Structure 1
Amino acid sequence: MNTRKLLSWLPFERFRNPPPVVAVVPLKGVIGRLGPWQRGLTLDSIAPTLERAFKLPSLTAVALVVNSPGGAPVQAAQITRRIRALAEEHQIKVFAFAEDVAASGGYWLLTAGDEIYADESSLVGSIGVVSAGFGFPEFLKRFGIERRVYVSGEHKAGLDPFQPEREEEVAHLRRIQADIHEAFRAHVRAHRQGKLKAGEDELFSGRFWSGRAALALGLIDGIADLRTLMRERYGARVRLLVIADGRRWWQRRLGLRSLAPGRRGLGQETAQPRAAAVEDMTAGLLAVLDEHQLWQRYRL
């Protein structure tokens, strides 16, 4: 072993010439608050992770790893704004990588990157707004169930799934969707300025594409994986440090949020009233179904 190589193994040499560091931040799952059992991807949940990532010693870049079918547009916008604010504050370049899916709000998160990459088989896009549900008025009528709703405000119970749809309420919902869609379109125009290679009718139609097709449309900058690209940019010595979100490993594995202070663990008795526990269970099951529905659309 020559002298230069021997010195590189000594501890003081690593302090004198530290390798470049890339903080890897996973942004995975449905965006927004889910149920009492699961924690979706929100600004509140991810902000401490982002702060830690941008304050690492010898930081050269931040790499976002996105795997999300979308969700709440407000949370997607807030997370993206926070990432861009931290990037400007610390003068750090941000790369974004799509894994299996970066669609709808997941694509919104991708645009937080100065450069965007995907696998050729990633699903990317779905720039649109959707609102879905079920209607049960005939079900109630068939079984002789009487629905009782008392409101103050003419439109307070609009779009109640147990009542027939009213055209004026649907029209109001469509106006809200149009406003949110335009905010999404404006964001993509600003962050992909000069890079989009297709008409807006195609790009903003709500369709999603493979990574290779998304590259041809200008929605991403290239086909690459994180490790290979970072080694090409910053050399073989680059350190990729995954920044955890603060939960225990089993909570991350099960998709559970952290237990609140003073709250007992799973399987232990609590002072929570039975009615509230049933409500939590119902909300949790509905959240699981909503999450499953979002992912199912992109499972080819």
Structure 2
Amino acid sequence: MDDMNRSSSSRPADDSKEWRLIEKVLMDMQGEQRKARRWGIFFKSLTFLYLIAILWIVRMPVEEAATVGGGDSYAAVIEVNGPIAADQDASADLIVGSLRSAFKDEAALGVILRINSPGGSPVQSGYVYDEIKRLKETRPDFPVYAVIMDIGASGAYYIAAAADEIYADKASLVGSIGVVGSGFGFVDAMEKLGVERRLYTAGEHKGFLDPFSPENPEEREFWGSVLNVTHQQFINQVKAGRGDRLASDPDLFSGLVWSGEQALELGLIDGLASSSQVARDKLGTEELVNFTHQPHPWEELVRRFGASIGSGFATVLANPSLTLR
């Protein structure tokens, strides 16, 4: 009987402990729910702001031309910056589009190509060269000047050669009239690693640039002939553009690069001057308007996030290409 009484008297205390425990668990759950709601609101707000920012960038107008000064007439400036290639800022499509806009502008007195490029694709450079020549026929009194900044070499000089006159700084790097086709050879490394190459082709020489196969002397000679033909095309265009201003120097088309001061002596350029000086002295204006293609901010954002780091390395290994140097 006493045991029963003791058991009955202890139940309220036990029940009280259980309820306190349940209450604590419920309170903790409510706290966690409140935190989850707060974080949910935060991330939803952040997503909303992000979408608003994207919409603002997409709808934001792009300024096509940046003007320095405010006169009625001006020099049209087109930048040729970085490698000359189809997927770069200095692609033929972008440069040609800017050139066409400048030639159509009645207020423009002439074009200044402001070049700062080590060169690149002979195809892209050739497109720009040919378009400059074509446009000059449509507007013969519209001069085109090239101004080389830090470097105007290889394909960049190819483009400059189409201009009426070329200028540079005394320390600029100019020239590099040559062609290079490079690749790698991993045959010995594969042998050391015990890797067997299996290459299946239709065509006797289809895999002649394969970096994992032994080099064939006959194919090496053929590839050299391709480089020589491309080099001669480059030389012919430079001679057509520069004419008798070029000095008679055996190293002129050897692929060497010179300072602006040396380039002037060799006839590769016509003088030492900046773009603003050329605008004043040659076009008679202090006003410069930038006709360079300006990417839409949304395009730039997508390009930055979508750039593939490994694609360039894979291209070099698998698809060797010609580069003007």
- Indicate how the Cα distance of structure 1 residues 286 and 33 shifts in structure 2: closer, same or farther if over 3 A, else same: farther
Percent identity of equivalent pairs: 40
Whether 1:43 aligns to 2:82 is: no
TM-score, scaled to structure 1: 0.76
Residue 108 of structure 1 aligns with an amino acid whose one-letter code is: Y
Shift of 1:138: 1.1
Corresponding residue number in structure 1 for 2:176: 126
Corresponding residue number in structure 2 for 1:245: 293
Residue 243 of structure 2 aligns with an amino acid whose one-letter code is: Q
Q: CA–CA distance in 2 between the matches of 1:209 and 1:95? A: 20
Displacement over 6 Å in runs of 4+: none
- Indicate how the Cα distance of structure 1 residues 215 and 250 shifts in structure 2: closer, same or farther if over 3 A, else same: farther
Alignment of 1:181-260 (within 5 A): 181-199=231-249, 201-235=250-284, 237-248=285-296
Corresponding residue number in structure 2 for 1:10: none
Whether 1:266 aligns to 2:319 is: no
Corresponding residue number in structure 1 for 2:27: none
Corresponding residue number in structure 2 for 1:29: 82
Secondary structure at 1:266 match in 2 = helix
Q: CA–CA distance in 2 between the matches of 1:250 and 1:226? A: 30
Q: CA–CA distance in 2 between the matches of 1:249 and 1:122? A: 32
For the 8 Å contact 1:20–1:234, the answer to whether it is kept is no
Shift of 1:284: 3.8
For the 8 Å contact 2:150–2:173, the answer to whether it is kept is yes
User: How many positions carry a matched residue from both structures?
Assistant: 250
Measured against aligned partners, the alpha-carbon deviations of 1:105-126 in whole angstroms (never above 9, x if no partner) come to: 1110111210100010110001
Whether 1:82 aligns to 2:108 is: no
**Residue 109 of structure 1 is aligned with which of 143, 159, 162?**
159
Residue 60 of structure 1 aligns with an amino acid whose one-letter code is: L
For the 8 Å contact 2:276–2:286, the answer to whether it is kept is no
Q: CA–CA distance in 2 between the matches of 1:288 and 1:166? A: 20
Cα RMSD over matched residues?
Answer: 2.8
Whether 1:169 aligns to 2:219 is: yes
Secondary structure at 1:153 match in 2 = coil
Secondary structure at 1:203 match in 2 = coil
For the 8 Å contact 1:20–1:238, the answer to whether it is kept is no
Shift of 1:145: 1.6
For the 8 Å contact 2:157–2:174, the answer to whether it is kept is yes
Give unmatched runs, 5+ long, in structure 2.
1-70
Shift of 1:251: 6.2
- Indicate how the Cα distance of structure 1 residues 40 and 286 shifts in structure 2: closer, same or farther if over 3 A, else same: farther
Moved more, 149-158 or 51-60: 51-60
For the 8 Å contact 1:159–1:170, the answer to whether it is kept is no
Return the structure number with greater helix share.
Answer: 2
Q: CA–CA distance in 2 between the matches of 1:152 and 1:120? A: 53
Q: CA–CA distance in 1 between the matches of 2:121 and 2:314? A: 16
Shift of 1:250: 8.4
Corresponding residue number in structure 2 for 1:154: 204
Secondary structure at 1:130 match in 2 = strand
Secondary structure at 1:75 match in 2 = helix
For the 8 Å contact 2:118–2:152, the answer to whether it is kept is yes
Secondary structure at 1:30 match in 2 = coil
Shift of 1:21: 1.3
Residue 293 of structure 2 aligns with an amino acid whose one-letter code is: D
- Indicate how the Cα distance of structure 1 residues 174 and 44 shifts in structure 2: closer, same or farther if over 3 A, else same: same
For the 8 Å contact 2:75–2:283, the answer to whether it is kept is no
Residue 168 of structure 1 aligns with an amino acid whose one-letter code is: E
Report the structure number with the largest CA radius of gyration: 2
Corresponding residue number in structure 2 for 1:98: 148
Shift of 1:97: 0.5
Corresponding residue number in structure 1 for 2:186: 136
Shift of 1:46: 2.4
Secondary structure at 1:121 match in 2 = coil
Residue 112 of structure 1 aligns with an amino acid whose one-letter code is: A
Corresponding residue number in structure 1 for 2:73: 20
Q: CA–CA distance in 2 between the matches of 1:286 and 1:154? A: 24
Shift of 1:147: 1.6
For the 8 Å contact 1:97–1:117, the answer to whether it is kept is yes
